[in-house]
Amino acid sequence: MNLLNVIILGIVEGISEFLPISSTYHLIITSWIIGVSETEFVKLFQVVIQVGAILSVVLLYWKEIISSKSLLAKLIISFIPTGIVGLFFYKVIKNVFFENLIASTLVFITVGIVFVLIEKAIKEEKITINKKLKELTIWQAIFIGLFQACAIVPGVSRSGAVLIGMLIFGYNRNDSAKYSFMLSIPTISAAALFDLVKSREVLMVDQSQYLILLIGAIIAFISAYFGVLWLIKYLQNHSLVIFGWYRIGLGILLLFGLLTSS
């Protein structure tokens, strides 16, 4: 993996991790396009750049999280269903979707359609989104965790699944996005730790490869930091429908490419 690949994948991870467009899917597709094979080191690299991205959210929101025991408790509660599903179904999902780009692309498109339909319902006032994060109940936190658990499937998007759940429960877009960011901290940290424990022998890399990991993590951190700030500002005056149409358009284009190249 050369420096250009490191930069591209770091930027893709940083931007797509917190936008509702599925970072896993974008990393899979981008790697396929630029010709990066999924070696053990590349798997480690993907984990490390995820950690880089998550550190940007820690920097932005750690004070708000630790200052509210209620918020911290709800984040833990939301994480539990995700952790359970991930622990028991990760291998099954990986075998079905990670090696099947067509299947994950269909999922990618489907979630885009869900976004368009939800925003249509909001526009027609069938769903009212005026609740604030402080109104989140324990039961809703549990269900948000179940929504997030769906993101174990490549193409769903962890942040996208949380946003869908929050909007259905009537929370405003900004607070919905903020909760998805905060919930990413325990979720991605646990997933990264799990992957590192499984692949601890891969950590024995030479000095030049450590430099690659560091560069990737820094690039992911910077791009994620600005991506989070941009999304919060964007959602103050815009809906999520653009992400729905982006998913549908890109998904159809990639599906055509995958089918014609196979």
Please give the chain's pLDDT, 262 residues, in tens. Answer: 899 999 999 999 999 999 999 998 899 889 989 999 888 888 889 999 999 999 999 999 999 999 999 999 999 999 999 999 988 887 777 666 666 788 889 999 999 999 999 999 999 999 999 999 999 999 999 999 999 999 888 889 999 999 999 999 999 999 999 999 999 999 999 988 888 777 666 666 676 788 899 999 999 999 999 999 999 999 999 999 999 999 999 999 999 988 887 6
Burial of residue 72 (CB within 10 Å: 0-12, 13-18, 19+) is middle
pLDDT on residue 198 = 72
Q: Quick one: pLDDT at residue 210?
A: 86
pLDDT of residue 100: 79
Place of tokens 């103050």: 236
DSSP state of 80: H
**pLDDT score for 260:** 87
Quote the pLDDT of residue 203: 64
CA dist., res. 134 & res. 68, Å (int) = 10
Identify the pLDDT of residue 158. 93
Q: What is the pLDDT of residue 97?
A: 62
Per-residue confidence (pLDDT) for residue 104, from 0 to 100: 87
CA-based nearest residue to 165, from 182, 178, 146: 146
The residue type of 8 is I
Closest Cα partner for 229 from 160, 188, 155, 174?
A: 174
Per the rule left: phi > 0, alpha: psi between -120 and 50, beta: everything else, 37 is beta
